[in-house]
Amino acid sequence: MNNKERLDLAHWASRIAKQHGASDTAISISRSRSVAVEVRQQRIETIRESTTNSLSLQVYRDSKFSGHSTNNLNKNDLERFIREAVEATRYLAADPDRALPDPDLYPGDMSKDLGLFDPAHASLTPEQRVENAMHTEQLLQECRGEILSASASFNDNLSEGVRLHSNGFVGETSSTSFSTGASLTIMDKGSRPAGGFRAGNRFLKNLPLPWEVSQKAIFDTMRQIGQASIASGRYTMLIDNRVASSMISRLIQPMSGRSIQQKTSFLLDMIDKQIASELLTIIDDPTIVGGMASRHFDSEGIASAKRVLIDKGVLKTYLIDNYYGRKLQVKPNGGSTSNLIMGLGNRSQQQIIADTRKGILITSFNGGNSNQTTGDFSFGISGQLIENGKITRAVNEMNISGNFKNLWNQLIETGNDPYPYSSSQTPTLAFRDVDFSGS
């Protein structure tokens, strides 16, 4: 089934739903094919292929709403599925804010090619997938030390689909993605340092080659040799660009319309106010060609557009979806982010380290929690101790704690090294005087 056939089916399903009493509908029909290969000790440990066809139906009936999904696209079965879905909606409580987005919010022009589909996917063979993973895992054997476990993987996905709203929205999607990775565990005087590296891209040719993946995985593992907890205290905190997105996501969550409407956000009533250091700028840009999260529209059909979330530390907008926009009586702008781009500094991570007298470079977050209402947080971390501009040892079993209202004002530098293999292109981040608890 191609997208034209899916669109015809969506129109048919919408008509059937209205015949049985639906006021409006939103219908998505999609197909996704994923292949995953994992290799360990030069043996294929996993080859997994899955193809999923699905129809998602959202029913609006007399200010009532329900969502349904099925993998059965046979029309005879679908008609009963749709009829029962519409009937079930009749028994729900009414909510006047449950409605499709205003058609003015839908994109007017979706002609720009966002570069989400790689034609090379069609010629990718099972042998090539296995060879990539085999080669990467073989190169892991160059690691110095006693290897306890080494594995490599290669994954790819092809997705295509349509979305149709009964009040006028029609959208199509077609995309590919590829990822490659490696993980390694070694023996170190009774401990077992484990590291790895993973990268993703829309285009096969832009993935890092096996030698680069393996070398980065080896480096990540070897730098954890001798890891131990160190004395508690206040340190300059550097966060590696690969894991900095974890902290950014904790700042994005309280910006949601749901959090604002329910008053469970420490960013409540903070629009156009300073919430962070002037060094913090975050832009949501869905228009990047080849971006891992680029799109013309979001999951509600609302047009995606480049927007500034935080400008030199000043909060500029909340993330408002259609439902909470109606509740807050503000215009929706999309309740989710796409590609996150940060303002960059002028120095590399190595240069920032060289100017750090007493600090810790965080390379992994190991659990923890944060409270988006108060901003309080506590996270377990692993990383590297920095003394007088040099990395001197590996650290783990330590925690950082504080409050995001203070932490983001402690940001003293952003690196010039955005991580390129993710939708969150975060650089190295440096913060002053962060509380670490250890031994």
Give tens-digit pLDDT for 139-185: 998 888 788 899 999 999 999 999 999 999 999 999 999 999 999 99
φ/ψ of 182, rounded to 5, equals -150, 150
Q: Is the dihedral of CA 267, 272, 275, 280 positive or negative?
A: positive
| pLDDT of amino acid 48 | 95
What DSSP state is assigned to residue 372? T
And the tokens for 148?
A: 């306890």
- pLDDT tens per residue across span 324-382: 999 999 999 999 999 999 999 999 999 999 999 999 999 999 988 899 999 999 999 99
Sheet containing 64-70: which strands, arranged edge to edge?
Answer: 64-70, 43-61, 24-40, 147-165, 170-186, 194-201
Task: Give CA–CA dist 271/260, Å, rounded.
Answer: 11
As a whole number of angstroms, the distance between CA 402 and CA 377 comes to 6
Q: Is the four-CA dihedral 239, 236, 436, 387 of positive or negative sign?
A: positive
Q: What pLDDT is stored for residue 438 in this prediction?
A: 84
CB 148 within 8 A of CB 186: yes
Q: Count the residues in the chain.
A: 439
**Residue 120 φ/ψ, nearest 5 degrees:** -65, -15
Check residue 1 and give its pLDDT. Answer: 84
pLDDT at 145: 76
Give the Cα separation of 228 and 244 in Å (integer): 22
Q: Which residues of the chain have pLDDT under 70?
A: none
> What local confidence, expressed as pLDDT, does residue 162 receive?
97
pTM of the model: 0.93
User: In the structure encoding, which two tokens stand for residue 342, read together?
Assistant: 């940060």
Q: Output the CA torsion sign for 138, 142, 147, 153.
A: negative
Q: Residues near 44 by Cβ (< 8 Å), separated by ≥ 6? A: 37, 38, 130
DSSP tag of 319: B
Strand, coil or helix: 90:
coil
Strands across the sheet containing 424-425: 314-315, 307-311, 282-284, 340-342, 424-425
